[in-house]
Structure 1
Amino acid sequence: MKPLISFTLDQDTEEMCSTLTAFAENRLAAPETFDAEDFRRRWLLAGRQGITGTCVPDEFGGSGMDAVSAAALMEALGRGCRDTGFAFSVAAHLYACLMPVVEFGTTEQKKRWLPALASGELIAAHGITEPGAGSDALSLRTRAVRDGDRYVLNGEKCFTTNAPVADVFLIQAVTDPEAGYFGLTSFLIEAGTPGLSVGRPYDKVGLRGSPMADVHLQDVAVPADQVLGAEGGGAAVFTSSMRWERTCLFAAYLGSMRRLLDSTVDHVREREQFGAPIGSFQAVSHRIVDMVMRYESARLLLFRAAVGLDEGSQDEIGPALAKLAVSEAAVQLGLDAVQLRGGLGIVDGEAETFLRDALPSRIFSGTNEIQKNNIARALGLGRAPHRRRAAR
C-alpha cells in the first residue's frame, strides 16, 4: 500500500530507499536467537549501505543527509528488516550517539570518532538511564570528579541499548550536584577502558534483536579531551539527542507498521468465512480503515518533526508528538493485526512479533506520559508554583 502522505524526496534518495528495503529483506534476516557475531556481521553490511551514518557530514565519513531523507531511509530499513530490534539498535547508535558528536563535538573529536562509527566499523551506546533515574534525568547518581587533566567516573547505568556490543560509550554523569540542569556532563569512553564493564544482556519481551545491558563504572579515568561539549553541558547534549531520536528513530516503526498493514490487508482479502472474504465484513473493513488512519497520521507528524530538525527548530512539541503518535499507533496496529488474524495472531508469527516489538516504544526515549508533560509545559501549562495562603 502506498502512503497517502508524501514528502518530496530527490530521485537519488527514493532509489536509495527502494534499494535499502530490498537489501534489508534479503541480507539482514536475523537468526532465531541473538548472536553477537552475526549482529556485527549485519551491522557492517548496514554500514556499507550508508545507514549507520546517514546524517553525519561527508567530511567525517557519513552521507551528509538531512533529517527528512534520513527518516525516509530509516523507514525503508524498518520496512525491509523484519528484525525491528536490529533497526532500533542502528537508529539508537546514529541519533543518540553520533548526532551529539556531530552537533557538540570538537573538530578533533569528530575526526577521531565519526568515520569508524559512520562506516559501521564501530558501534556506539548512550548511557543515561539509572536504577533511580529514568524519567527524572536530573537525579543521576553517576559522578564525575575532575582530577587534573582527567575525570574519574563512578556509577551505574541500566537499560543501555547496544551496551553488550558497543565499542564507544556516550555517558552522562554529574559534575556539579548543586547545579541542576547545568550539573551534567557528557563523556566519550572507549570500551575496554579500565573500570568500565558491561553486565549480562537483558531478556526482553520485545526488540530481542537489540542487545541491552547495564554498564558499570568504577574509578573510570577519562581524559578531559573526551568531554563532549563543555563541562555542565550534558543536559543540552541529551536534549538534542532526544529531539533526533524521538523523530528519526521512530521512522523505523513506520516502516514496520507499513509492512504489517500490507500483510494484514492481504490476509483479510484472502481469508474466507461464511462464504465471503472477511475483509467484506464491516467490522473488519472499518478496523482496517482505523489502522490506515493511525499509520498515515503518525507518518505525517513524524515527517513534520523531521522538517523542523532540518530548519534548526528547538521546538519540543513536534518530536514529542511524533514519538507519541508513532508509538501509540504501533501498539494499536499490532493489537488490530493480531485480532484480525484470529488464532493465527496469537502463535509465533509476524503480528505477535511486531506487537512485542511495539510495546517498548511507549517507554524508551522518554515515556509517553513524560512526552505529554513536555508538550503541556511547552504550551505554558506547567504546574503553577504553590502559593501560600494569606493569614487571616
Structure 2
Amino acid sequence: MPATDSLTPIPSHEELAERYAPLLDVVRAAAAEADEAGELPPQVFAALRSSGILGAAIAVEHGGLGGDAVLTNRLIELVAAADPSLAIILFQHYAVSARIGEWGSAEQRGGYLPLLASGEWIAASAWSESGAGADKRNLSTKARRSDDGWVLDGAKTFTTGAGIAQLYLVLAQSSEPGDTDSTYGSDGQTFFLVESGTPGLVADTGMDLVGMRASATGFVELHECQVDSGSVLGPVGRATSIIAGVRESGATLGAVSTGIAESAYRLVMAHAERRGLARQQAARHRLVDLGARVEAARALVERAGRKDADDPGTTTLYSKVIASTVSEEVCQEALRLLGSAGFLRGHQLNKLARDARAVGLMGPTNDLCRDLVSAGWAR
C-alpha cells in the first residue's frame, strides 16, 4: 500500500480491519511466539513497514496518510487487539511523528517525516529515567552546549522501541530548573531528535518485562553524545510547552487498552459458545456487562480523538484511566468465566491480562493522569 494513499474521510473500524488485514494476520500469528521470546520476529516488522500504517499521523505532503487522532486511535486499537506489544511501538512512533509535524523545523519535517511515513524508519520516545518520577521533573540526563551544537549525557529507562528505532525523541535538562507550574516536566528541559547511529548513543533491550514483553522496552544510554543545533525540537528550555500539548492531541493509550479489552471479550465469547454458557442466565448477564464496558471504553477513546469535549485534554486523560481500568477488569472477569482453563500458562487471556496491567503503568501513569486532571482543584 503506498504511504501517500490518504485515509480521509476516516474509515470505520471494520473498514480499517479489512484494509490492514494482511498486517494483522501476520501480527496475530506471531503474538504468542513473540511474547515467549520477548521480541517481535522479523516478519512482523517486514509487514509493519510495508503496510503503510506507520504514516498515519504524518501529513500527505510528507508521504503520510494525513490522519488525525481519531484515525490513529482506531489503528492502535486494531493492532492492540492482535498484539499489544506492537501497538505500543506504533503508538510511540505516531507520537514522535506528530510532535515533529507540529514543532519541527522545515528541515526536520522534510528530512525525517518521509522516512517515518514510508516505514523505512521507526521513531521512539526516550523520556523516562530512574529517579525522575512519573512527572519527569527531576531529570538526570543533561544537555550542555558545545561549539557546534549540544552534548547529551544520561540514561533513559523504559524506552519502548529501544534498539529497533532509528530516531529517538530525547528529553534532557538543558539548564537549571526554576519555578514552574507544570505538573509534568519542568522548565529548563529541551527535546532532542537523536538518530540511532549517533556516537555515544547505546540502546539495550535487556529488560525482562512481565507484560508487553515484545515491545522492545529497554534502556537508552547517552555518553558524550554530540548532536548539532538542528537536533533541537521546539524551543530550547521549553519542553513543557510540547508536553502540555500532548494531552490536547487526542491520541491516547486508552486505545491500546480498548484493543486488549476487545480481544479478551472475543476470546471469552468464543469460549462461552463452545461451552454452551449462553444457556445460563447468570453467564449471559456477565457477558453483556463485559461487552458494555468495552463499548464504553471505546466511546471515550473515540471522543478523545475527536477533541470535541469542553476540555479535550481532560477527556484524553480520562480515556487513559478508564480504558486501562476496563481492560484489566474485562481480562480478569473473562478469566473467571473460563474456569480451570484460565490456569493454563499459555492461554492467550493470561498474556492479555499482563499486557492490560502494563498500560496503566505507562506514562502518563494513571495516578499522574489523576494529578494532571485535579491539579487546579485545590487552588
TM-score (norm 1): 0.85
Residue ranges of structure 1 left out of the alignment (5+ in a row): 1-8, 272-276, 385-392
Q: CA deviation at 1:349?
A: 1.4
Matches within 5 A, 1:66-105: 66-79=68-81, 81=82, 83-95=83-95, 97-105=96-104
Alignment of structure 1 residues 235-250 onto 2, 5 Å:
235-241=240-246, 243-244=248-249, 247-250=251-254
Is 2:333 the counterpart of 1:339? no
Q: Equivalent of 1:360, from 358, 361, 368?
A: 358
Q: Which amino acid aligns with 1:190?
A: E
Cα distance, 1:168 vs structure 2 = 1.0
2:332 and 2:38 mapped to 1: Cα distance?
A: 29
Tell me how far apart the structure 2 counterparts of residues 76 and 349 of structure 1 sit (CA, whole Å): 20
**Highest CA radius of gyration, 1 or 2?**
1
- Percent identity over the alignment is 29
Name the CA shift for 1:156/1:243 in 2 (closer, same or farther; >3 Å).
farther
* Aligned counterparts of 2:38 and 2:256: Cα–Cα separation in 1: 22
Which of 199, 219, 222 is residue 224 of structure 2 equivalent to? 219
Label 1:344 to 1:15 Cα distance change in 2 as closer, same or farther (>3 A): closer
Distance in 2, Cα, partners of 1:314 & 1:46: 34
Contact 1:144 1:152 in 2 (8 A): yes
Distance 2:309 2:151 in 1: 35
* Cα shift at 1:171: 0.3
Give the aligned partner of residue 263 of structure 2: 259
The match for 2:53 is 51
Q: 1:293 to 1:45 in 2, by over 3 A?
A: same
Q: What is the TM-score with the length of structure 2 in the denominator? A: 0.88
Query: What's the Cα RMSD here?
Result: 2.3
Residue in structure 2 matching 1:38, options 36, 41, 57: 41
Measured in 2, the distance between the counterparts of 1:35 and 1:120 equals: 22
Taking structure 1 as reference, are residues 351 and 36 closer, same or farther at Cα in structure 2, changes over 3 Å only? closer
Q: What is the one-letter code of the residue matched to 1:207?
A: M
Point out where structure 2 has 5 or more consecutive residues left out of the alignment. 1-7, 181-185
How many residue pairs were aligned? Answer: 361
In 2, the alpha carbon distance for the partners of 1:37 and 1:328 equals 26
1:200 and 1:78 map into 2 onto residues whose CA distance is: 21
Q: Distance in 1 between matches of 2:93 and 2:281?
A: 43
Match of residue 183 from structure 2: none
Q: Alignment partner for residue 329 of structure 1, among 326, 332, 338?
A: 326
Kept in 2, the 8 Å contact 1:55–1:65? The answer is yes
Structure 1 residue matching 2:187: 3-state secondary structure:
helix
Secondary structure of residue in 2 paired with 1:202:
coil
* 2:233 corresponds to which of 218, 228, 231: 228
The letter of the residue matching 2:94 is L
Q: CA deviation at 1:90?
A: 1.2
Contact 2:328–2:357 at 8 Å: present in 1 too? yes
Residue 158 of structure 1: aligned partner: 157
Contact 2:55 2:118 in 1 (8 A): yes
1:182 counterpart SS class: coil
Partner of 1:283: 282
> Aligned to 2:377, which of 377, 381, 386?
381
